[in-house]
Every structure is written in structure tokens, then in C-alpha cells.
């Protein structure tokens, strides 16, 4: 896998670095673990504080667009991840609350 860093921006408000990268592979889409390992080596980041947000590979092309976040500390990382998880739970709960039960056909 060949890896190219496109941007490495610091988001001081959220206490993280937002990294965009581009990977070219010869056989298949790289796994999140492979991508995380390579980028952490290349940028000297802590793998425990790094989170892969997405790996997008276009159909028929062996290149991937990658977005990952590297946090300043564990507390900041857990706050961010927890907030995203709570939003997902609220959306699921409200979607199920408004649904009417199906009528039984006999």
C-alpha cells in the first residue's frame, strides 16, 4: 500500500488533528488496522488516540480516500466518540417512536 497525506489540519476547538490521506493498493482495500498503523508511523501519532472515520474506495479503482482523527488525549477522544454515539441512539429511538403498529390480517 502506498500512502500519501493530503492534509493534516489541527482543530483546536475539538482537540484533534483531522488528517486526509490517499492510499493506492495493488490487491484490495486496506483494512482500518493497516491504514492506522501506516499513518501513525508516518506522522508519529499514538495509535490509541487515533480513530479512522472512513475509508472510501471507488468502484473499479484501487485507490482509497481516508479520513482519520488523532486526539490530544484520551478524555477528549472519549467525549467526542460518546457524543456521536448518543446522537445515533436518539435518532434510532425517535424513528421507532412515531411508527404505527401494523394491522393484523385475518
Task: Establish if 63 belongs to a structural domain.
Answer: yes
pLDDT digits (tens, 9 = 90+) for 5-53: 999 999 998 889 999 999 888 877 778 888 899 999 999 999 999 999 9
The whole domain housing 16 covers 2-92
**Would 98 be classed as within a structural domain?**
no
Say which DSSP state 16 is in: E
Tally of domains in the chain: 1
Average pLDDT, the chain: 81
CATH number of the domain that residue 70 is part of:
3.30.70.330
The H or E element spanning position 37 is: helix 32-43
Band (4; pLDDT cuts 50, 70, 90):
very high
Does 103 map to a domain? no
Amino acid at each position: 500500500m502506498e500512502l500519501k497525506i493530503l492534509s493534516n489540519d489541527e482543530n483546536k476547538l475539538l482537540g484533534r488533528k483531522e488528517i486526509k490521506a490517499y492510499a493506492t493498493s495493488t490487491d484490495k482495500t486496506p483494512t482500518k488496522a493497516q491504514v492506522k498503523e501506516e499513518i501513525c508511523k508516518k506522522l508519529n501519532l499514538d495509535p490509541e488516540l487515533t480513530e479512522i472515520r472512513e475509508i472510501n474506495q471507488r468502484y473499479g479503482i484501487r485507490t482509497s480516500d481516508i479520513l482519520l482523527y488523532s486526539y490530544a488525549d484520551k478524555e477528549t477522544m472519549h467525549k467526542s466518540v460518546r457524543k456521536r454515539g448518543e446522537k445515533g441512539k436518539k435518532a434510532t429511538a425517535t424513528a421507532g417512536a412515531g411508527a404505527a403498529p401494523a394491522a393484523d390480517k385475518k
